[in-house]
Amino acid sequence: MRNLFLLLILFFRTTLLNAQSDPMSVEIIINKTQKTQLMLDEEGLEKIIINQKDWLQFENDGFIRYSDLGATGDGVTDDMIFIKATHAVANEYEFTVKADDGALYYISGKENSAVIHTDTDFGNATFLIDDVAVENINTPIFKVRSRMNPVTISGLNQLKKNQKITSQFLPEACIVATSDDKVKRYIRYGLNQNKGRSQTDIFLMDKNGKIDSLAPIIWDFDHISEITALPIDQKKLIINGGKFITISNQAPSKYTYYSRNIDIRRSNSVIQNLKHFIKGEGEHGAPYRGFISISDCSNVLVKDCVMTGHKTYRTIGAAGKPVFMGSYDLSVSRAINISFVNCRQTNDINDNSYWGLFASNYSKNISFDHCVFSRFDAHMGVYNATIRNSTLGYMGINAIGSGKFVVENSTIYGRSLVNLRQDYGSTWEGTFLIKNCVFVPSKRNSGSVSLFSGANSGMHDFGYTCHMPKNIIIEQLHIDDSNLEGGNNSISLFANFNPKMINENFKEDFPYIRTQKVTIKDLTISSNQKLKVSENQFMFKDLKITMD
């Protein structure tokens, strides 16, 4: 009786999918006589017809497979339109989506995205993504989205750094993104120089207007150009399994980033047991933003996944000179509470022919646990980061930002233990804690090795006051310097951040606030040499070091 009632309703109605999540709405019709099929026009998917018996089976099982709507999984036929349609039906009727066992789904370069609102099990299926000829490089393969629409915030004209509460009342907890186009931050220096970006911040706010102290506001906003509140989903969405193979693009090596990926913009999501491989990289290619790309959301867990580093290419930077070009398999932007657990990459993490795997911007509370990656990188700032029980390869830790950065029970390779990115002022406003770690400096014949590297001339305006870490705490660090050859190496706590600052006569136009205190307990070096403070003794003359 219940099923008959449902069918009577479904037969007489057509359904439009949530236009907020997918601007290309698709009509779904339940029909007694017609077979399940897709109706296509010149622009792609027009409507989906589902036979009543098929719909009852989906409803009884609670899931729908790609083959149910026509996907062949033969590795030749372009299955993307059927994949998209399957998720459209699942989204409307709250079905789980399952890939077919052993299927090989070919996905061409046509402009098509599948929107994911429900749990999805890719299982042991393989997805072959052909990027040789792509219609729109900014179109993701999968869009993981919330069903909830953004919440309007009105009457909020100012925000202050570390503000605890606002007068706003929201229907539920939200991640709030705000910007001020009158203020420029992250005015990049060097070969990829630019004029900066509008001041941007994200934070968590509950329905009573209280701001989460673990993800605070980090700037003063005397003017707000734009503010958006995105509701945080309470129900967890799980995406499981799948082997994805990207046939790499053959485009010129320019900064035309490809986003043929799984684009996650839904809070409280889990991506697990996924594997991504790359083939077909040649002598040139355009970069990628990240096969798993996370933005505008919070509380996302990526676990038990295998990723692949992209080949390193060269291009011409903004200063008109050759630069190495970044391409990523994992990226995080404007996101909070993002965790990577038990993940690794397929390439050798110390092979510098492959670019660093991970990059982030404008994010807070990023953590690695039991991960093996070629690097951690925070470009335009991270607030709080944690690396535990992990191994980082030749590109090591590259970061700017604020808050507390914890590195614990980990092995770090690279030219330095921590590189504070000089293109953004080598700034970290907060504390570094290094505990029970091993640092393995890159192989070299001569020169100084530093635990903390970076550079700041004091003559460039980055759009903010630049800081070295206020406090550095090192507990149980072993430096394995066996790679260093020639006997002309020295190991310093700090690099020479400003070679021109050798006496009181040097005046900075934009003062660089230096570290106040370093605490070192149980530091050992394989060669038994002594740890120096820095080649630039004047710059660090007021530094207080406590050693045990």
Write out the DSSP string of 283-319.
S----BS-SEEEEEEEEEEEES-EE-PPBPEEEE-TT
Residue whose token pair is 């799984």: 262
The residue among 521, 336, 497, 323 whose CA lies nearest residue 420 is 497
* pLDDT bracket for residue 11 (50, 70, 90): very low
The residue among 400, 395, 399, 398 whose CA lies nearest residue 413 is 395
Q: Which helix (H) or strand (E) holds 247?
A: strand 237-247
Q: What local confidence, expressed as pLDDT, does residue 486 receive?
A: 67
Residue 207: both structure tokens together: 């329905």
Give the model confidence (pLDDT) of 243-264 as tens digits: 999 999 999 999 999 999 999 9
DSSP class of residue 32?
S
- Give how far Cα 328 sits from Cα of 17, 261, 309, 349, 377, Å: 32, 11, 7, 14, 11
Residue 66: both structure tokens together: 């790609």
Beta bridge partners of 50: 30
Longest CA–CA separation in the chain, Å: 90
Give the model confidence (pLDDT) of 511-526 as tens digits: 999 999 999 999 999 9
DSSP class of residue 221?
B
State the distance between the two ends of the chain, measured CA to CA, in whole angstroms.
Answer: 78
pLDDT at 92 over 70: yes
Please calculate the CA angle 229-231-237 and round it to the nearest 5 degrees. Answer: 140
Beta bridge partners of 107: 129
Residue 284's identity, in one-letter code, is H
**Span 120-136, average pLDDT:** 97
Q: What local confidence, expressed as pLDDT, does residue 445 receive?
A: 63
Give the model confidence (pLDDT) of 455-511 as tens digits: 999 999 999 999 999 999 999 999 999 888 766 678 999 999 999 999 999 999 999
The residue among 74, 91, 101 whose CA lies nearest residue 22 is 91
When the pLDDT of each residue in the chain is averaged and rounded to a whole number, the result is 92
pTM above 0.85, yes or no: yes
The residue among 425, 310, 318 whose CA lies nearest residue 378 is 425
Q: What is the 3-state secondary structure (H, E, C) of 351-395?
A: CCCECCCEEEECEEEEEEECCEEEEEEEEEEEEEEEEECCEEEEE
**Interatomic CA distance for residues 452 and 534, integer angstroms:** 10
Strands 344-345 and 358-361: unpaired
Q: How many CA atoms lie within 13 A of 118 on its CB side?
A: 18
Of the candidate ranges 10-14, 61-65, 289-293, the one whose mean pLDDT is the lowest: 10-14
Give the model confidence (pLDDT) of 190-210 as tens digits: 999 999 999 999 999 999 999
Give the model confidence (pLDDT) of 413-450 as tens digits: 999 999 999 999 999 999 999 999 999 999 876 678 99
pLDDT at 20 over 80: no
Q: What local confidence, expressed as pLDDT, does residue 7 receive?
A: 40
Q: What local confidence, expressed as pLDDT, does residue 386 receive?
A: 98
